[in-house]
Structure 1
Amino acid sequence: MESYETEQREGLQNNAISKTVSEISVGEWLISMLIMIIPIVNIVMLFIWGFGSPDPRRNYARASLIWMAICIGLAVLFYGVVIALFFTVGGY
């Protein structure tokens, strides 16, 4: 029983160490932000970071893609309502 608890503690310590090793430096974040400025490239990179090989930016990329999908959906809904109103008012 004691060896099992020791293995669990060592596993938790190894996870803590691996998290600090995979941290991204400030320079790498600056480059990532620069990539996010470039149209089309940013969407491609978000898909690569979010669903490609394990990357520390995975959660950020997935969250950004979710927000993009929500914004696109709201924009389509808004413009659909505006166009529908335009055609209904234009009939009079």
Structure 2
Amino acid sequence: MENYNNESNQGVQNAYSVSDPNKSVMSLGEWLITLIVMIIPCVNLIMMFVWGFGSGNENRKNFCRANLIMTAIQTILAVICYVVFAASFIAAMGY
């Protein structure tokens, strides 16, 4: 069996070491705070923009950006559904 911890792999290991606090893994407490803030109406949208485009933890930043994309998709689909149902209701009332 080969030993993969030789001198040539030291650069690779150092490149992936977590020295930047923005790239560290979020703790359970940080995730709980994030999810509790996401429950509060209006505050969650503001905090998604603040955390998604600010200079914070990369995990939270990616989570907030993905959440913003999903919120935009849901909003667009809801508007389309409302327009379709309103148009069908108006059409049904006309006959």
TM-score, length-scaled by structure 1: 0.80
Task: Please name the residue that 1:72 is paired with.
Answer: 75
Q: Whose RCO is larger (CA < 8 A, sep 6+)? A: 2
The percent of aligned pairs where both chains have the same amino acid is 46
Letter in 1 for 2:91: T
Task: Please name the residue that 1:63 is paired with.
Answer: 66
Task: Please name the residue that 1:41 is paired with.
Answer: 43
CA distance in 2, matches of 1:43, 1:85: 32
Pairing of 1:1-92 with structure 2 (within 5 A) = 10=11, 12-18=12-18, 22-56=24-58, 57-92=60-95
**Gaps in structure 1 of 5+ consecutive residues:** 1-5
Q: Which has the higher helix share?
A: 1
TM-aligned CA deviation for residue 45 of structure 1: 0.8
Letter in 1 for 2:93: G
Letter in 2 for 1:68: T
- 4+ runs of 1 displaced by more than 2 Å? 12-15
Look up the SS of the partner of 1:18 in the other structure. Answer: coil
- Alignment: residue pair count: 85
